């Protein structure tokens, strides 16, 4: 019954989205109200989602035409149970069983919305790198380091060039970087992976983006920034961003209620897959950036292929750590 209701909602969203596309106005399927406010906080402690609303962005000049851009997002929000989560913990400890090592804790340094803000990772021996020292695999799945909780806008990331690789807010042209609208899924990276910028993909003919591989977690919970969550991959999307290959692994937390239903990419509703693709296609256009493209005819590759991609990027990371590949400005130890 729950899945039937979900599919009915999905069908309505897709129908409405197609109608809006024909009129050159793109729509989103979610809006956030945090603590009773329509605008909300960039780091809300609680989210409430309405099924359909619109988030128009700005008009962008092109050489031959002017058009309004938005993010087309078809997400099955009606199928998700939203919950509060500590998004900015001062201290968080992860169990040894999950990480196959001594206990790991996070420490928040500096104030949010400032250049000094950091989330640092520590174990019993001191500060560690969430990229290099947290293992790729846990007991039941892959370890995901959460950088951006769902329904937030601050562009947080593992700082690959900074000592010990803390999580920090990205800076562009001297300003803290924010998305122009919230991201609708938990977003992060798989540790001990690397998209090698010196290696050309044999089919796509583009090079890696010099970062750990990205994860889009589509579960029902809001995951805290800096948390380490075991996920199972469901598929992967080959995004081409500014001429670089930027894989997006679609995954779900192994302890999420939907994990029993989602085992491969075909189990994921089209509404969610379309939403992910279109969000990443359009999200840079308000900054006068071109649309992002996708390889493999814009299709999501399946679970088996996603695991191959993860393994390839893991092998590339091993070569990076071993010194077989030039690290450039990346901090490795």
The pLDDT score that the predictor gives to residue 187 is 98
Q: What is the mean pLDDT of residues 172-188?
A: 94
- Catalytic residue numbers read 179
d(C-alpha 12, C-alpha 78), whole Å: 12
* Spatial contact of 235 and 217, defined as CB atoms under 8 Å apart: no
Q: Which domains does the chain have, with CATH numbers?
A: 2-79 (no CATH), 91-322 (3.90.80.10)
- pLDDT higher than 90, residue 91: no
Q: What is the pTM of this model?
A: 0.74
pLDDT mean over 135-142: 97
| Mean pLDDT (whole number) for 38-45 | 37
- Per-residue pLDDT tens over the stretch 231-280: 999 999 999 999 999 999 999 999 999 999 999 999 999 999 999 999 99
Nearest to 146 by CA among 85, 76, 223, 212: 223
Q: What is the pLDDT of residue 88?
A: 54
Handedness of CA 57, 82, 215, 86 (dihedral sign): positive
């Amino acid at each position: 019954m729950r899945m039937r209701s979900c599919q009915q909602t999905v069908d309505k969203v897709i129908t409405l989205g197609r109608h809006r596309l024909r009129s050159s106005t793109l729509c989103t399927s979610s809006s956030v109200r945090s603590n009773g406010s329509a605008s909300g906080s960039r780091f809300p402690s609680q989210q409430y989602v309405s099924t359909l609303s619109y988030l128009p962005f700005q008009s962008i000049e092109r050489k031959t035409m002017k058009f309004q851009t938005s993010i087309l997002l078809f997400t099955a929000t009606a199928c998700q149970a939203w919950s509060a989560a500590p998004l900015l913990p001062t201290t968080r400890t992860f169990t040894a069983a999950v990480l196959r090592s001594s206990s790991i804790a996070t420490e928040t340094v500096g104030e949010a919305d400032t250049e000094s803000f950091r989330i640092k990772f520590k174990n019993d021996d001191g500060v560690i790198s969430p990229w290099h020292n947290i293992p790729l695999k846990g007991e039941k799945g892959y370890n995901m380091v959460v950088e951006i909780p769902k329904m937030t806008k601050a562009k947080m990331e593992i700082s690959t060039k900074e000592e010990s690789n803390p999580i920090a807010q990205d800076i562009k042209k001297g300003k803290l970087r924010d998305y122009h609208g919230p991201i609708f899924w938990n977003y992060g990276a798989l540790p001990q992976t690397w998209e090698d910028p010196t290696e050309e993909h044999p089919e796509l003919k583009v090079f890696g983006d010099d970062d750990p591989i990205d994860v889009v977690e589509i579960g029902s919970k809001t995951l805290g920034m800096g948390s380490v969550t075991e996920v199972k991959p469901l598929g992967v999307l080959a995004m081409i961003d500014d001429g670089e290959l930027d894989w997006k692994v679609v995954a779900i937390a192994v302890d999420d209620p939907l994990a029993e239903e989602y085992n491969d990419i075909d189990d994921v509703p089209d509404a969610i897959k379309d939403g992910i693709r279109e969000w990443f296609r359009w999200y840079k256009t308000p900054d006068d950036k071109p649309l992002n493209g996708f390889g493999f005819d814009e299709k999501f590759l399946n679970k088996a292929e996603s695991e191959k991609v993860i393994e390839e990027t893991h092998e590339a990371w091993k070569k990076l750590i071993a010194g077989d590949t030039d690290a450039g400005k990346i901090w490795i130890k």
